[in-house]
Amino acid sequence: MVTLSAPAPPAMVGRKTLKREASTLEDSDVSMASADDRPAKKVRFTDEDLGEDLRRKIILTALEDQTKNGKSQHFEELKKKFTARLSDPSAPDATELSQTIQCLMLVISQLDKNCAPLVGDIIHTNWAGRPQSFYRKYMAFLLQIISAHPQHTAKVVQMLVKHLALETVKDAQEFGSNVSPRSDIFATVHEMLETILGLAPTVWNSLFTAISAAFPFKGQKKIHQTTYIKNLLAVLKYAPAGKAKILGLIFEKMINLDGEIQINLEDLEEGEGEELDRQLKLSLESKNGQNLSDSGIGDDEDDEGDDSDADDDEDDDPESSEPRTIEMIQETVDKLDAMLALVFGYYDSRLPKRSVAEPAQEDLENFELLLHFFDTIILTTFKSQYVQFVVFWAAQKSPVFMDVFLGMLVERAMDPTKPQVARQAAAAYVASFVARAKLLDRDAVRSVVRMLCLWLEKYLKDREVECTSPNVRKFGGFYAVFQAVMYIFCFRWRDLRGKTPLPVGEDESIEDISRSSQSWAPGLQVIDRLLTSRFNPLKVCSQNVVTQFAEVASHFGVFYCYSIIERNKRGNLFSSRSSGTELPEATQLETYFPFDPFKLSHSKLWVEPYYQQWEPVPGMKKDGDEDDDSDEDDDSDESGDDGENGQGDETGDEEGDSEEDESDDE
């Protein structure tokens, strides 16, 4: 036990007895000697009959010594009570600390700047590893200390936020006894933070700084990430003013993981990408229907311990890192999947449950904030694969949302003041959303295509004179918009065909419909001029998209591209023979379609009802079935991952498609 020395009480003359309240004397003989000759008494805080007044006097003595001398042995002994580790046999128990806390609360005004080291040690003491009876009193002390001495508020907030992280609580409870469930610890922290924000609303900046600093590193296991995100979403219930910053932070962390997945995919050797794709499909099949809340608060704590042990084992064998590349990517994918599932769940309760024509004002505000995250975090990230599907799903909750979303993207794609890469990304999002959004209606599809075509026509009129040959660096924005039109045409030809929608179930009679260009949506007529212009878009756009567009357009007799494609091939062959090298990548438009098939098992449950799968064009056949089958195999091998090449299912990569569908898709 930690003991503190206290000065002996003055001599009491004329008393028949001498009161000894829980004192331990070094000399048992109490004589009538003078007070100066008496030995000092040793007082232990844990003595049951130690009076509250005497305990407070002892603490006051320690505080006064610290104030007068700047350094006090009594004061240091008092500090040690709160810094001792639970594994230390001499550490005070919860009862002793509770008594000390109670006395400190009686002298709270005395804990001035001279006592700041003691207050700091109390704030950072291990309270989560002790029984609830202690930490309830401890929390009451913290509220008193920040009320009497506000300069300690930031430290208290920082400490509390750290206890929203699973790792902090696990470490704190490692050697504890009679510890509370982690859910109780988290609930206590939330209760404290809510109370502190009510007392001092200006503490919000300190709170967000602490939240950002305590976010688990991206290398930590899934349960650490999901537990912390659950707690951050709980913070928003009593701190709605922090919605933009906290949700923005969550999106930043998710997009970092998304980018890491893409980088690792690009580093995979030949054949490993197919193996990862196979594992993702197996994972999807095995996990469909499982509880979305697969980790975090309330989980079995033994499983969490197993996760920690697994981490240690993995680091013991450095030679195993190479074979584990695919496994590590899969772990990162699972981690992001769980994080996305929580974000989907959060927005599911804050947006309409189904598509509504007129969303409520609160719903509109929530979507606008989500769109802000998309604009500042997602759109600026090169080739993200998954996080953008939150916006894809949310936008289809209302035609109003889709109109706002597409309006922003179209504006960005056509803005000459934006960098080429930003305009190309916006065009890719327009193409992919219009192609894949199941709830986007016919009128909206035609309206978007018309706007894109009108812009292309104006661009052709204004700038063709500048073009001497295809130039992606100079005209990249133009090529991106043209590729978007081709991509949309391949997916949404039914909505672009004719003045009235094609009746459902009447695809077999499609050949009876006039093949004239006048039967297509207004604006598409400019495609003929664009194909034969100096820009020569078929030469630099994605060859997978060009091939698919040529097949669909030729099938309907609306545009004929094969002669231009063959001429471009001959030109490329001549150029490569002359230079001895293949066509430079700089002459090809970067291929990226952000809403290619979504393969995350848990969060897919939100996306799937809103996702338009690739549907082969009825009656469309290719010349030379055997040769085409061989070509399809080659194309499938070259196409690799959906997100990398942007061709999704029309090149045979669609998840769950049969081999027959792949043949039709080509």
How many secondary structure helices (H) and strands (E) does the chain include? 28, 3
Percent of the chain scored above 90 by pLDDT? 51
Per-residue pLDDT tens over the stretch 405-454: 999 999 999 999 999 999 999 999 999 999 999 999 999 999 999 999 99
389: CB partners within 8 A, 6+ apart? 340, 595, 598, 603, 607
Per-residue pLDDT tens over the stretch 480-506: 999 999 999 999 999 999 876 655 455
* Residue-level pLDDT at 509: 44
Residue 295 carries which DSSP code? S
Residue count (the chain): 666
Per-residue pLDDT tens over the stretch 604-622: 999 999 999 999 898 887 5
Residue 377 carries which DSSP code? I
The arithmetic mean of pLDDT across residues 223-238, rounded, is 96
* Residue-level pLDDT at 364: 96
Per-residue pLDDT tens over the stretch 102-112: 989 988 988 98
Per-residue pLDDT tens over the stretch 151-180: 999 999 999 999 999 999 999 888 877 888
pLDDT bracket for residue 511 (50, 70, 90):
very low
What sign for the dihedral angle of Cα 553, 556, 560, 563? positive
340: CB partners within 8 A, 6+ apart? 254, 386, 387, 389, 390, 600, 602, 603
* Long-range CB pairs of 58-64, under 8 A, 24+ apart, other chains included: 58/4, 58/6, 59/100, 59/103, 59/104, 59/107, 60/107, 60/110, 61/6, 61/7, 62/4, 63/107, 63/110, 63/111, 63/114, 63/115
Listed range (62-76, 121-135, 260-274) with the worst mean pLDDT: 260-274
* Residue-level pLDDT at 597: 92
Question: Rounded distance, CA 123 to CA 126, Å?
Answer: 9
* Residue-level pLDDT at 325: 76
* Residue-level pLDDT at 14: 40
pLDDT bracket for residue 72 (50, 70, 90):
confident
Q: In the block, which residue shows the tokens 């305590």?
A: 214
Per-residue pLDDT tens over the stretch 463-480: 999 998 899 999 999 999
* Residue-level pLDDT at 177: 77
Cross-strand partners of 23 = 43
User: Which residue did the predictor score with more confidence, 175 or 52?
Assistant: 175
* Residue-level pLDDT at 88: 86
Listed residue (581, 396, 588, 319) closest to 480, CA to CA: 588
- For residue 570, pLDDT beyond 70: yes
pLDDT bracket for residue 317 (50, 70, 90):
very low
- Candidate ranges 202-206, 334-338, 496-500; pick with highest mean pLDDT: 334-338
* Residue-level pLDDT at 92: 86
Per-residue pLDDT tens over the stretch 23-49: 333 333 333 334 344 444 444 444 444
Percent of the chain scored above 70 by pLDDT? 71
- For residue 91, pLDDT beyond 90: no
- For residue 335, pLDDT beyond 80: yes
The arithmetic mean of pLDDT across residues 640-661, rounded, is 41
